[in-house]
Structure 1
Amino acid sequence: MALPSSSFSFASYFAPYFVSLLLLHLVLLSNNSAAKHNGYVGHHGHHRHRAASNASNPRLYRAYLALQAWKHVIYSDPYNFTTNWSGLSVCGYTGVYCAPALDDNKTTVIAGIDLNFADLAGFLPEELGLLTDLALLHLSNNRFCGILPMALSNLTLLYELDLSNNRFVGPFPAVILSLPSIYYLDLRFNDFEGPVPPALFRKGMDAIFLNNNRFTNTISASLAGNSASVLVFANNKFGGCLPPSIADFADTLEELLLTNTSLSGCLPQEVGFLYKLRVLDTSSNNIVGPIPYSLAGLAHLEILNLGHNMMEGIVPAGVCTLPKLTNFTFSYNYFCEEEGICQNLTEKGISYDERENCLPEKPHQRSQKECKAVIEHPVYCSEHLCHRTGTGSFGSTVPFAPAPAPWPKPLPPASSPSPSPSGIS
C-alpha cells in the first residue's frame, strides 16, 4: 500500500543530522581516538579519500577480498556500478568511500559504501564481515534478496544501515541487535516477517523504519531505554493496542507513524505526553473511542491523521487550536460534534478532511443508520482491558471489555488531499 507523497522531505529532515556526523568525524580524527559510535559522514557529506591507490595495508586488502566476493554474487548490474570493481585500488571503486581509520589517521580504510538506486540484483555474502571499518552501508532501491549474513556482526562501527526497497526475507535479522554502534536503521519495503524483538528499542537508535514489511506481534508494553526520534511502523500487521508505555519516548520522539498496522483499542492518554511530537499518523486502523484530550498539549504537532478508524465523540477545540498544526485528518470515523474553531479550520489555515463522520449539517457524512449504531453502543476506554491492566501492546491478543456491538466497517480508504509523513512514500 503506497501512501501519498509527503510534505516532509526525508533529505531535508536529516540534513542537519548528516552535517552533525561530518563535524563529529572531524573531531574524532583530530583526537585520533577510537569511536564508540560512527564518526564518518553520511551520504550527504561524503568525502572521497584517494590517498591510497592500492591495497597498501591489511585492512584495504581484506576489503578487497570482501568486495570481490560480493561482486561475484551480484547477478545483474544494469547501470554498471561494479564494472570498475577490479584490482587492489578499492578506494576507486564506484560507491566505495575511504577515509583515515578512526584509531590510526595514517591508515586508509573503507568507511562507507553507498549503492543506493543502483538496481543491483544478488545477495550479501558472508565476506562482508571483513569490512570491519565500515560505518555507513546504504543499499536502498536495489534487488538484493535472501537473508542478512551473521558475519555483519563484525561491523562494530556500523552507524547507518539502509536496506530499504529490496527483496530481503525471513524473520527480523537478529544480527542487527549485535551491532553496538547502530544509530539509523531502515528496513522498509522488504519482506521481513514475524515479531520484532523488544531489544531493538533498547539500542538507543535515533531512527527506526520498519514500514511495508510483514511484521507481526511486535512491540511489548515495556519500551524503557529507548531514545528514537522517528518510529515508522506503517503497513505491517501488528494488531493489539498502542501501549501506554509509548510515553517512554517522550523526551525524543518527533514522528510516530502507525498507519495500517491493524491497531485496535483506544488511543491512550499517554500519547499526549510525547511533547516533541511533530507527526502522528494512526490512520487506517481499528481504533475506537474518543480523541484523547491530552493531545491538546502537543505544541509542536504539525500533522495529525486519525482517518479511517472507528473513533467517536467530540473533536476537541484544544486539538484544533494547536499552534503549529497544518494538517488534520479525521475522516471516515464516527465523530458527532466539533468544538469551537474545529467547525471551520479553514479560518486557521489548516488543511483538514472531515468526510464520512456523523457531523450534523456537514456534507459527505455517514447515514443516520450508521451513526445510530455507534451512538447506541459507546466505547468506554476506562474499561478497555489492555489499558486498564497496563499490559496492552502491539500484537496483543487481549480483547477489550465489554465487547461492543458490531459496527459498520469504515469505507475503503479514498485518496486524501492530506500529505503523508516522512519515511513512508
Structure 2
Amino acid sequence: MHVYCLAVINDSEANDRLALLAFKNEITQDPHGIVSSWSDKNNSLHFCVWRGVTCSRRHPTRVTGLDLNSQGLYIFLNNNSLTGNIPHEIGHLFRLSRLNLADNSLEGEIPENISHCSNLTYLDISNNKLVGRIPNELSNLSNINEMWLDYNNLSGEIPTSVGNFSSLTILSLGHNNLQGRIPNTLSQLTNLKLLGLLYNKFSGTVPSSLYNISSLEFFGLADNQLHGSIPFDIGFTLPNLIFFSITENNFTGTIPSSFSNSSRLKILDLAANNLVGLVPYNLGNLKSLDMLQLSDNKLGSGKDNDLNFLNSLVNCTNLRFLIVGQNNFGGLLPSSIANLTTNLAELDFERNQIYGSIPPGIENLRGLTILDMGSNQLTGSIPLGIGLLQNLGILDLDRNKFFCPIPSSFGNLTRLVQLYLAVNNLTGSIPSSFEK
C-alpha cells in the first residue's frame, strides 16, 4: 500500500516536472531568463522552487495533495515578454489551481487540454497574441472563478457551454475578434460580477435574461454590432452596477430612469447609439457617478427644457466627465452648470442646438481641462471667467454666434494647447496677453 502510494506520488511529481519543461521548450524568447533557469539536470533545484512556480505548502515536494482545498501548483509568469506557444502538456498539471500568463507575446491557440486541470480556479492569458476559438472543452473547468482572455486575437463564437461555469465571477473576453450572438446560457452565471464582451463583433440583441444577473457590477458591451433597447427596469434588475458601457452599437429607445436605482454606478457610457428622448431628471441620485457619456445619439428635442437634467447633476460630487455632445439638445444652458462639482474635468456640449449665453459662474469649475461648446447657437459675450480656469488644456467655442472681443483673460490660460474660436462674430484684435 505504502509502496503503491509512493509510486503514484513520484509519478505525478515527474509528470508535473515534464509538463513544466515542455512549457519551457515552447518558449522561443525569454528576455528576463524566467523559464530558461528551469533545469532538468539531476542536481538541479526542485521544480517547486523554480522561478514563477509555487507548490502546495502542505506537500512541498509534490503537487498531488491529499487535501484538495487550497492545494496544487501555481504558475505566475505574467509580464515577462515571453513568446512562443502554450504547450499541450500544461494539461498534465492536474492539480493546477492558478495560471497567469498575462501580458506576454504568446501565440498559437489555447490548448484544449487545459480542461484537464479540473482544479483551476484562476486563468489569465490576457494581453497576448493567441488566436483561434475558445475551446468548448473549457466547460470542464467546473471550479473556475475568474477567466481573463481579453486582448488577444481570438475568433469564433462564445461556446454555449460557458454557461456551465457555475462559480464564475469574472468573464473577460474583450478586445478580440469574437462574433455571433451572445449566448443565452450566460444568464446561468448567477455569481457573475464582471462581464467584459467589449470591442468584438457580436451581433443581434442582448439576451433579456442577461439583464437579470443581479450580481453584475461590470457590464461591458462597447464597440460591437448589437441592437435593441435598454430594459426599462434595468436599475432594479442590476442594482449593483458600477460600470455600464454599450457605446458604439445600434441601441435604440430611451434612457431608462431606473438607472438611478443602481446607486453604485460610476461609469454610464451610452455614447454612439441611436437613443432618443430626454435624459432622466433623476440621474443626480447617482452620488458615485464619475462619467456620464451620452454623446453621438439623438437625445433631446431641440427645444427648451432639454437640459433640465443638468440641475440634478449638481448632487454628483464625484463627477469628472460630463459628455453630451452631438445630440439634439436645445434650449438655454441652465445656470446650475456653475454649481457642478469642482472635480469636473471635461464638460462637452458640442454640436447641439443650444442657444443663449454661457451662464455666469463658469469659473467655479476650476478643475476643467476640457471645455467644448463648439457648434451650437450660443450668443452674447464670452465670459471673462473662462480665463480663470487655470487647468484648461482644450477650449472649443467655435461655430457659434458670439459677438464680442476675445477676453484678455485668456492669456492667463498657461496650460492651453488647443483654442478654437473660428466661425463667430468676434471683434477687436488678438489680446496682447497672448504674447506671453
TM-score strictly above 0.5: yes
**Structure 1 pair 96/222, CA: closer, same or farther in 2 (3 Å)?**
closer
SS in 1 for 2:219: strand
1:75 to 24, 28, 31: 28
Deviation at 1:312, TM superposition (A): 1.2
* Residue in structure 1 matched with residue 264 of structure 2 by the alignment: 300
| Matching of residue 324 in structure 1 with residue 288 in structure 2 | yes
Instruction: Give the 5 Å matches for 1:132-281.
Output: 132-204=94-166, 205-221=168-184, 223-226=186-189, 227-250=191-214, 252-272=215-235, 273-281=237-245
* Residue in structure 2 matched with residue 84 of structure 1 by the alignment: 37
Residue identity in the other structure for 1:265: G
Residue identity in the other structure for 1:210: L
* Residue in structure 2 matched with residue 14 of structure 1 by the alignment: none
SS in 2 for 1:328: strand
* Residue in structure 1 matched with residue 15 of structure 2 by the alignment: 62
Instruction: Give the 5 Å matches for 1:276-295.
Output: 276-295=240-259
* Residue in structure 2 matched with residue 131 of structure 1 by the alignment: 93
CA distance, structure 1, for counterparts of residue 293 and residue 259 of structure 2: 14
Residue identity in the other structure for 2:143: S
CA distance, structure 2, for counterparts of residue 211 and residue 114 of structure 1: 22
Deviation at 1:340, TM superposition (A): 4.0
**Residue-by-residue CA offset, 1:350-399 (whole Å, 9 max, x unaligned):** 2311111111145522469xxxxxxxxxxxxxxxxxxxxxxxxxxxxxxx
* Residue in structure 2 matched with residue 358 of structure 1 by the alignment: 328
**Residue-by-residue CA offset, 1:36-61 (whole Å, 9 max, x unaligned):** xxxxxxxxxxxxxxxxxxx9843322
**Structure 1 pair 109/317, CA: closer, same or farther in 2 (3 Å)?**
closer
SS in 2 for 1:240: strand
**Residue-by-residue CA offset, 1:67-91 (whole Å, 9 max, x unaligned):** 1111112111111111210036101
Deviation at 1:234, TM superposition (A): 0.6
CA distance, structure 2, for counterparts of residue 118 and residue 186 of structure 1: 17
1:95 to 52, 76, 80: 52
Residue identity in the other structure for 1:298: S
**Structure 1 pair 335/269, CA: closer, same or farther in 2 (3 Å)?**
same
* Residue in structure 1 matched with residue 397 of structure 2 by the alignment: none
Deviation at 1:266, TM superposition (A): 1.5
Instruction: Give the 5 Å matches for 1:41-60.
Output: 57-60=10-13
Gaps of 5+ in 1: 1-54, 369-415, 417-425
Deviation at 1:170, TM superposition (A): 0.9
Percent identical residues: 27
Mean Cα displacement is larger for which, 308-317 or 330-339? 330-339
Residue identity in the other structure for 2:316: K
SS in 2 for 1:319: helix
**Residue-by-residue CA offset, 1:177-230 (whole Å, 9 max, x unaligned):** 121211100000111111102221341200000000011113234544212011
CA contact (8 A) 1:120 1:142 kept: yes
The CA RMSD measured in Å over matched residues stands at 2.6
CA contact (8 A) 1:316 1:339 kept: no
Deviation at 1:347, TM superposition (A): 5.7
SS in 2 for 1:83: helix
| Matching of residue 118 in structure 1 with residue 80 in structure 2 | yes
SS in 2 for 1:140: coil
CA distance, structure 2, for counterparts of residue 222 and residue 137 of structure 1: 25
Residue identity in the other structure for 1:154: H
Who wins on radius of gyration, i.e. which is larger?
Answer: 2
SS in 1 for 2:188: coil
**Residue-by-residue CA offset, 1:138-186 (whole Å, 9 max, x unaligned):** 0001111111222222211011000101111111222311212111000
CA distance, structure 2, for counterparts of residue 235 and residue 180 of structure 1: 27
TM-score when scaled to structure 2?
0.67
Gaps of 5+ in 2: 1-7, 334-348, 355-393, 395-436
**Structure 1 pair 338/200, CA: closer, same or farther in 2 (3 Å)?**
farther
CA distance, structure 1, for counterparts of residue 126 and residue 80 of structure 2: 13
